[in-house]
Structure 1
Amino acid sequence: MTAAGIWFAATAEIPDGPTAAAGADNPRGLVRYDPVYHRAVSGLEAPLGFDDCGHSTTRASRDTAGSDRHTVTPVIDRFVIHHTGTTADQLDFLSRCNMRSSAPTFYLRHDGSVIELIRPGAKPSSTGADWNWRSLAVETLNATGAPDYAVTEAQLEELAQMIAWLATYDGERLDGVPVSFTIDREHVITHQETWSGTECPGPYLQSRLDDIVARAREIFQKN
């Protein structure tokens, strides 16, 4: 489950896009955009991806970090894995200004389908003020509850696919932001590895991190 996040300084304007009718893949009828991640089924303008989630006008910038909002040089150098802590679909929850201030870059369902909630160039509200500015974050819907909080094989595969995709941008820019990313356990981390106050993403996903990284390397080398 993602931690309360920060979405302070704003730089980029909202792209034009249609407001869609509500449905399973867009329960709040958010503005859609063509996702940056090519395997995502859609991109949605989640309100917490912006400076003011009540009056969405500009995207949260990656140029500030920490509770003091000190200036940093934007970079994407971490891929952070979270879990929902529940088996019930969370897209509606993540599509509004929710009580956890939770807005990951990606939402990953049981069948391996991905919804992009925040463009990778913008700062997610997910892992905490010291990590949001430098990371992409994925919220993984659990297939089982406590104690294991397992996920499906399709989700494990898609996590590896996302990691391999991010690695293709190493040394380049992704959605306007420089990337410095290698497929290893320094750069692929979980929420609990950034903050001792959480067990997210649960025992099952934590135990599969080495497998996910190994599969991502395999995908990357084949491409």
Structure 2
Amino acid sequence: MAPGDATIAVDPDNPNGLTEYVPVYDRAVRGLEAPLGFSDCAHPTDRARRDTAGSDRRAVTPVIDRFIIHHTGTTNDQLDFFSRCNKRSSAPTFYLRHDGSVIELIRPGAKPSATGADWNWRSLAVETLDHSGAPDYAVTAAQLEELSQMIAWLATFDGKSLDGVPVSFTIDREHVITHQETWSGTECPGPYLQARLDDIVSRARQIFIAKRSV
């Protein structure tokens, strides 16, 4: 290799070299400042605020009262995609890989860019990397467990503030929902995850109760 031809190794947990921070979610392996977590993706200086909702940007009182589950629709790793001002303007709070590891892409106090203007302001969103493709879009046991862990963690903030935002959250199917339950135009997160929502919620309750008894 000639001098100057050396290539810089890409960090698979931060492929675009985003600014890193200590994640708010204590089980996340990295916290990355994804540009879609800011009010202007092209100039990421001010984090997206939770005080407006809808396409009309009406004023709302910030709250986190929903945990919304998505899937990627592909088995190919999507961290690079979510780390950019991508064509879908899509970036979740959390990105969940096959081994159950979590990358925090947007601070929980900031508004995710995942579910739509009527839901982003009040939710945390997780994108689950599919382990298999169509038609089931299955995920791994490790991912199912981590979804429950995240839900149980969020519930510990009920009646308190998380990263500066008030939380009103109970572990039930009213507060734990999927993308397709917010918009009839999508099948996200696919039939496998959708069919396991009750099990995910039940496991989250177990984890939450165990945490409280410690």
Scaled to the shorter chain, the TM-score interval is: over 0.9
Instruction: Report the structure number with the largest CA radius of gyration.
Output: 2
Partners of 2:114 and 2:56 in 1: CA distance? 17
- What does residue 32 of structure 1 align with? 20
Q: How many Å apart are 1:22 and its aligned residue?
A: 3.8
Tell whether 2:166 aligns with 1:166. Answer: no
Structure 2 residue identity aligned to 1:118: I
Equivalent-residue separation in structure 1 for 2:46 and 2:91 (angstroms): 15
Residue 211, structure 1, aligned to residue 195, structure 2 = no
- Deviation at residue 93 of structure 1 after TM alignment: 0.4
Q: Corresponding residue for 1:5?
A: none
Which residues of 2 match residues 1-223 of structure 1 at below 5 A? 22-223=10-211
Q: Percent identity?
A: 83
Letter in 1 for 2:205: R
Instruction: Report deviation, 1:83.
Output: 0.1
What is the CA deviation profile of residues 57-108 of structure 1, one whole-angstrom value per residue up to 9, with x for unaligned ones? 1100000000000000000000000000000000000000000000100000
1:163 Cα deviation after fit: 0.0
Q: Which ranges of structure 2 fall in alignment gaps of 5 or more residues?
A: 1-8
In structure 1, give the amino acid aligned to 2:38.
F
* Structure 1, unaligned runs of 5 or more: 1-20
| TM-score normalised according to structure 1 size | 0.90
Count of aligned pairs between the two proteins:
203
Q: Structure 2: how far apart are the matches of 1:51 and 1:130?
A: 16
Residue equivalent to 1:17 = none
Deviations 1:27-63 (A, max 9, x none): 0000000000000001000000001111111100000
Any idea what the Cα deviations from partners look like across 1:133-178, whole Å, max 9, x if unmatched?
0000000000000000000000000000000000000000000000
User: Structure 1: which amino acid aligns with 2:170?
Assistant: T
Q: Secondary structure at the match of 2:47?
A: strand
Runs of 4+ that moved beyond 2 A: none
Tell me which residue corresponds to 2:4.
none
The TM-score, its normalising length taken from structure 2, stands at: 0.94
Paired residue type of 2:197: L
RMSD: 0.6
Q: SS of 1:58's equivalent?
A: coil
